[in-house]
Amino acid sequence: MTFKAPAHVALKILKADASGNNKELAMLLELYSPDLNHPGKCHIIELLDYFEHDGPNGTHLCLVFPAMISDGVGMTISERLHQAAYVQAISKQLLLGLDFLHNLGIIHCGRLAPGT
């Protein structure tokens, strides 16, 4: 079986001064360790790859993620109310993902909102 890269990806390019000894990269690599088995793991965005790019301002760490269909805002802003089952499903996924992070000693700082 061969790995087929997705047609579209999202890049997060860090500033050169933030690229060395990056804690975010270390955390993302830990999250997808094959030793971790938790039902919330599948609700955390997966780091597909990473690389360094040498530019005029220094070396930048580039993180590669799956492209998202939406930033989530469309799920919350609507002219109509959502069905209870929809709200329950989204809430369950959110809480499973948070529980997975908390079990690893990782906390989410800030408000929980679409795109975060």
Residue 35 in tokens: 């030793």
Going by C-alpha positions, the residue among 97, 115, 112 that lies closest to residue 42 is 97
Q: What is the pLDDT of residue 93?
A: 92
Residue 16 in tokens: 């050169």
What is the model's pTM? 0.74
- Domain presence at residue 3: no
Report the b/e string of 88-114 with b at 16+ CB within 10 A.
Answer: eeeeeeeebbbebbeeeeeeeeeeeee
- Domain presence at residue 4: no
- Domain presence at residue 116: no
Residue 111 in tokens: 């408000």
Residue 14: CB atoms within 10 Å? 19
Q: Which residues contact 104 (CB under 8 A, 6 or more apart)?
A: 30, 31, 36
| pLDDT by position in tens, the chain (length 116) | 455 667 789 999 998 877 667 888 988 998 888 888 899 999 998 899 999 999 998 999 999 999 887 666 666 656 667 788 988 998 899 999 999 999 998 887 766 655 55
Going by C-alpha positions, the residue among 62, 41, 43, 42 that lies closest to residue 52 is 62
Could you tell me the residue range of the domain that residue 67 belongs to?
Answer: 9-103
Q: What is the pLDDT of residue 97?
A: 92
Q: What is the pLDDT of residue 3?
A: 52
Q: Per the structure, how many domains does the chain have?
A: 1
- Domain presence at residue 109: no
- Domain presence at residue 66: yes
- Domain presence at residue 88: yes
